[in-house]
């Protein structure tokens, strides 16, 4: 029986994002991230050691890079590469609905 990206979603209004690893292999990790209105804390920036390709499957989000003046408004189907070490944050996800991300991490040195 196949798994489904839309199964086992957290209830709307949940205080924490849900992170689910879908695949872990040497040098590669694929995860589903579900937001229900969350954003990065003020002043917080992700600064990851691995490259990440992300696609928005459902919902909406504002993704902000430290080296860009304005955040990018993402809608379903929008995807982008985030190079290792490129500081970024989630400024907003749409409240009252599930924002579903699929993230593929390329882990260097594995």
What does the pLDDT read at residue 14?
A: 87
Q: Residue 16 in contact with residue 28, Cβ under 8 Å?
A: no
Q: Of the candidates 64, 59, 46, 66, which has an alpha carbon nearest to the alpha carbon of residue 93?
A: 59
CA distance 102 to 90: 14
DSSP annotation of 110 = -
What per-residue confidence (pLDDT) applies to 28?
95
10-residue block means of pLDDT along the chain (110 residues)? 89 92 95 96 95 98 98 98 97 96 87
Looking at residue 26, its pLDDT comes to: 94
Q: Under CATH, what is the fold of the domain 18-106?
A: Jelly Rolls (2.60.120)
pTM of structure: 0.92
């Amino acid at each position: 029986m196949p798994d489904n990206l839309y199964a086992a979603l957290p209830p709307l209004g949940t205080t924490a994002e849900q992170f689910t690893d879908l695949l872990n292999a040497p040098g590669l990790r694929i995860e589903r991230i579900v937001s229900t209105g969350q954003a990065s804390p003020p002043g917080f920036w992700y600064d990851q050691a691995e490259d990440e390709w992300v696609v928005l499957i459902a919902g909406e989000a504002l993704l902000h890079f430290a080296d860009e003046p304005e955040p990018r408004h993402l809608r379903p189907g929008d995807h982008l590469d985030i190079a290792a070490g490129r500081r970024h944050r989630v400024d907003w996800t749409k409240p009252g609905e599930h924002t579903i991300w699929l993230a593929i991490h390329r882990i260097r040195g594995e």
